[in-house]
């Protein structure tokens, strides 16, 4: 996330994408934010309504994020699937390949997460921030089975 791409760090690009997404939420929507590097951390322990106050709090949380040194993609996806029984969609925003955690191999993560999601049927969406082509393919393969969307940010 510290790597500079087109004059901004990947973290700054990711923060901008996430802040825009939070600002665009309808007030009747519930949302949560999980951030991940070596560990996965939640902004709140459950989904909250997208009130102006909650949006401002979430944006302050996002603005204070600092870049970590590793990417625990598998743990982030697992925690997302188990976050709340009412969860309908996941948006994973990442800048790189999995480098730490229980599973780092793309095909194994893909197989496990898609199998687990057969029960939940959660739409998985992905936003890739300046990723390598192999990672972009992995994220596209993650989103397609649930009819999720893939977006690449350079």
DSSP letters of 15-34? HHHHHHHHHT--TT-EE--E
Segments of the chain assigned E as strands: 4-5, 8-9, 30-31, 34-36, 40-42, 48-49, 89-94, 123-129, 150-153
Which tokens in the block code for residue 13? 């690009």
Q: Give the CA radius of gyration of the chain.
A: 15
Residue 31 neighbours by CB distance under 10 Å: 19
52-63 and 10-23 helices, crossing angle to 10°: 180
- Classify residue 44 as exposed, middle or buried by CB count within 10 Å of its CB (0-12, 13-18, 19+): middle
Helix (H, G, I), strand (E, B) or coil at 7: coil
Q: Cβ(50)–Cβ(26) under 8 Å?
A: yes
pLDDT tens for the 154 residues of the chain, in order = 556 655 667 778 888 888 999 999 999 999 999 999 899 999 999 999 999 999 999 999 999 988 778 899 999 999 999 999 999 999 988 887 899 999 999 999 999 999 999 988 999 999 888 889 999 999 999 999 999 999 898 7
Q: Is the pTM of this model over 0.85?
A: yes
């Amino acid at each position: 996330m510290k790597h500079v791409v087109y004059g901004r760090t990947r973290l700054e690009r990711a923060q901008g994408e996430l802040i825009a997404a939070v600002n665009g939420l309808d007030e009747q929507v519930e949302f949560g934010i999980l951030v991940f590097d070596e560990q996965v951390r939640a902004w709140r322990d459950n989904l909250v309504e997208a009130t102006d106050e909650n949006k401002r709090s979430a944006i302050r949380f996002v603005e204070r994020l600092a870049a970590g040194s590793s990417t625990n993609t598998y743990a982030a996806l697992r925690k997302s699937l188990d976050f709340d029984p009412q969860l309908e969609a996941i948006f994973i925003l990442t800048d790189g390949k999995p480098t730490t955690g229980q599973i780092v191999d793309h095909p194994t993560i893909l197989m496990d997460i898609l199998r687990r999601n057969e029960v939940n049927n959660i739409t998985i969406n992905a936003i890739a921030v300046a990723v390598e082509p192999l990672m972009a393919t992995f994220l596209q393969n993650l989103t397609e089975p649930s009819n999720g969307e893939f977006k690449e940010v350079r």
